[in-house]
Amino acid sequence: MQRGAAVIRLPRPTDSVTRLDFSGASQGVAGEGGLHVSAELRLLQLVCHRATSPLKTARRIAILTGVRSAYKRALVRNVERVENIVIGTRGSALALAQTEMVAQQLAAVHPHLSVEVKIIKTEGDRKQGTPLAAQSDKKDWIIDLERALLAGEIDMAVHSGKDVPGEIEPGTEIRSILKRATPYDAFVGKIQPDGKRLSFANLPHGAIVGTASLRRKASLRTNRADIVLRDHRGNVPTRVKKLDESPDLSGIILAAAGLERLALPDLQYEVLPRDVILPAMNQGALAAQVRTGDERVSKTVSALADVATAAEFVAERAVAEVLGGDCHSAISIFAEAHGEELSITCRIFEAEGVRSVSYAHSGPISRAAELGTYVGREVLSRGGADILGPVRHTS
C-alpha cells in the first residue's frame, strides 16, 4: 500500500456505525467493503459533514472512488448521524459572549451535539482604529463570515441583528435566534467625583456626547439640540475606556443589549426610552446566518427561535427592504409583539435631524412581513423617499 494513504470503511446498510473511520496509512485494507484512497480524500469527511446535499456529496464520493450504490447510501446515512456544528463569529468580547450564549442553548436543546466555535476576523475588524473606519458599512462586519459559510468552513454564523444589512450573500439565509434582549439604546455617563456616573437628564448645556451612529445623532439633536456630538467608535470595552480617559466627553451612547450581555463589572448605565432614541432594526436580537438548503443546520437552529422575537425580526427587516436605506441613513425601525398583535414604528431623519417622517401601524403577528412592507411603503409615500434621496437603493 502506498505510504500516506488512508482507509475509509464504507459500512453495509445494516451496520450501526455512526462515524466514518479515517485511520492511518499503516492499517491496510479494512476488510470487505473497505476501500484504499489517497490521503487527500481525508477531506471527504469534512465535505460530508458540511454538505448541504448529502446525496450530491455521496454521488461525488462515488465518482471519486467507484463506490457501489448500497455503500453510497450507507455513507450518507452515517454522515447525517454525525452531530457536529461549527459556529463562525467575530473575535470581539461581545461577539464571543453572544456566540457562547448560542452554543449553550444549542447544547441544551441538542444534548448530543458537538459545537465548535471558529473566530473569523472581518473587514470591519481590520478597519478598526484606522481612518477607513469612518467609511465602513454593515457589510464589512459580516462579509468574511459569509464567505466562510459559503466555502463550508463553518455551518452557521452568529451576528448581532442590527449589524446585518438588508442584503446578504446569495446562497445564505438569515433568521432570528433566542429571545430578544433589551432593544433600546443606553447612556453611559462620565464618572463624577462621587464615583457615580453622570445621568442623561443631568447632561449640562453643550455637553459632548460620543456616538458614530447617524440614527442616534439625529435623535439626540431632536431631543437636545444643545448637545455636541462627536464620532466615537470601537468595541464596547474600548468605547467605555475612551470615555473614562477623555478630558471632554460627558457620555456615550451604546446598545443596551450589548452592555447586558457583556455584564461589565461595576458599569453603571441607563436605558434611554424610545421617545428619546427609537431602536435600530433588529437591535437586541441575535441572528443566525446559514446556507440556503442546508436542512440539517436549519433544523438544528430552528429549535432556538422565539416566536415573538422572530416576528419582530421579520417585520423590521421587511420595512428596511422597502426603504432601501443603509448604515449611512438615519433610520429607526422598531416592532414589538403584544400577544397576537404586532406594532411597528418607523422614523426616518435627515442627517442633521432637522426633518423627519414617522409612521406606526399594528396588526396580527401572523402577518409580520406584510405589515412591515406596508409600513415601509407608507413612510416613503409620506416624505421618506425625499429624505433618503441618493442613499436609497432597491433590489
Using CA atoms, how far residue 236 sits from 58, 202, 239, in Å, is 46, 23, 5
CB 64 within 8 A of CB 94: no
Q: Is 244 a catalytic residue?
A: no
Residues in the chain: 395
Q: Are 122 and 140 in contact (CB under 8 A)?
A: yes
User: Do 287 and 177 contact (CB within 8 A), yes or no?
Assistant: yes
Contact 37, 65 (CB under 8 A): yes
Task: Choose the catalytic residue: 155, 163, 185, 294.
Answer: 163
CB contact set of 252 (below 8 Å; sequence gap of 6+): 187, 188, 209, 210, 211, 232, 239, 240, 242, 243
Task: List phi, psi (to 5°) of 357.
Answer: -130, 130
Who's near 107: CB < 8 A, 6+ residues apart? Answer: 113, 115
CB within 8 A of 45, min separation 6: which ones? 20, 22
How is residue 128 written as a grid cell? Answer: 478598526
Active site residues: 163
